[in-house]
């Protein structure tokens, strides 16, 4: 555990540092609030033991600054104070402190506060890991382990705004497994699930590390292809289309007798700066054209006018 001690009184600072180090914790120290804030931002200690009255930021201001910057982390704050009134204690807690210790500093009292701090910060770290895992699960398709539509919406918004800002291109490719209903009807849903996993694995294997791959719904998958115009995007998707056909997954309901995909491509460019929703619609229209033309093929959206 990393503990930062802040005090402008050399004697009190020395006692606090000794308690922290004797307890086996890593100790950082500062003699004023401004230096403490800089040290905190660089090292992110789990515990801060800070004096109330000191140069620069005072203890209350330091507590508020630390609390205002927290998102997925939690810092245990102990306020050292010569004030013992109930109003002072409440003011410290209201500023974000978890506990307080009155001066002159008693080593035993501080040691007990550090034990509590270790337990509380460990619990918050565990909760943080749970939150991260839940956030990941909320954005992951459970069958294919690809990102889902929630993650797609987030990623597409970021890329679209970046492309608008910098005038760069990107493409979308909406892919659909051909005749998938008949595949499920004949071979059963377990086989259909395995086929979708195989398609997802091939999409991952044959796309670039910078591409985004998403389960769009049912047997549909969407690719985000950053910095790719229509021609480059088509080359990537053609490699994927051929790779999926080469899996040779038997499909009696497909004229090709194996599992295939169709895909529609749309492209954002400075001279076609449509919204991301419109771009998705264009990819869907292009996919419809590919399927209407016989499936197992790629069609790009054609702008009119």
Selection from 240, 148, 251, 152 nearest residue 194 by Cα: 251
Report how far apart, in Å, the C-alpha atoms of 228 and of each of 224, 250, 276 are: 9, 33, 15
Selection from 235, 258, 217 nearest residue 225 by Cα: 235
Residues 6+ apart with CB under 8 A from 101: 49, 78, 79, 80, 81, 109, 110, 113
Selection from 218, 216, 303, 227 nearest residue 266 by Cα: 303
Q: Which of 21, 61, 70, 219 is catalytic?
A: 219
Catalytic residue status for 238? no
First to last CA, the chain: 64
Active site amino acids: 219
């Amino acid at each position: 555990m990393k503990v930062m001690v802040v005090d402008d009184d050399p004697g009190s600072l020395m006692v606090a540092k000794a308690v922290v180090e004797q307890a086996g914790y890593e100790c950082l120290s500062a003699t004023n609030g401004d230096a403490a804030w800089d040290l905190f931002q660089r090292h992110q200690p789990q515990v801060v033991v800070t004096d109330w009255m000191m140069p620069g930021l005072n203890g209350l201001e330091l507590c508020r600054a630390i609390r205002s910057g927290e998102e997925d982390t939690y810092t245990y704050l102990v306020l050292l104070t010569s004030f013992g009134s109930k109003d002072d204690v409440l003011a410290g807690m209201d500023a974000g402190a978890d506990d307080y210790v009155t001066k002159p500093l008693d080593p035993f009292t501080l040691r007990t506060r550090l034990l509590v701090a270790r337990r509380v910060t460990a619990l918050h770290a565990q909760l943080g890991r749970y939150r991260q895992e839940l956030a990941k699960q909320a954005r992951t398709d459970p069958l294919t382990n690809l990102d889902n539509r929630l993650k797609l919406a987030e990623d597409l918004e970021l890329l679209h705004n970046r492309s608008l800002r910098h005038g760069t291109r990107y493409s979308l490719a909406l892919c659909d497994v051909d005749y998938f209903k008949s595949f499920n009807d004949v071979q059963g849903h377990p086989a259909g699930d395995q086929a979708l996993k195989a398609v997802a694995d091939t999409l991952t294997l044959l796309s670039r590390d910078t591409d985004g791959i998403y389960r769009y719904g049912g047997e549909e998958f969407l690719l985000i292809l950053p910095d790719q115009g229509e021609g480059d995007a088509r080359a990537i998707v053609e490699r994927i289309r051929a790779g999926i056909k080469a899996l040779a997954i038997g499909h009696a309901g497909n004229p090709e007798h194996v599992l295939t995909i169709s895909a529609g491509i749309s492209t954002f460019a400075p001279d076609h700066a449509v919204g991301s929703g419109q771009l998705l619609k264009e990819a869907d229209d292009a996919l419809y054209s590919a399927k209407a033309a016989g499936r197992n093929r790629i069609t790009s959206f054609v702008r009119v006018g």
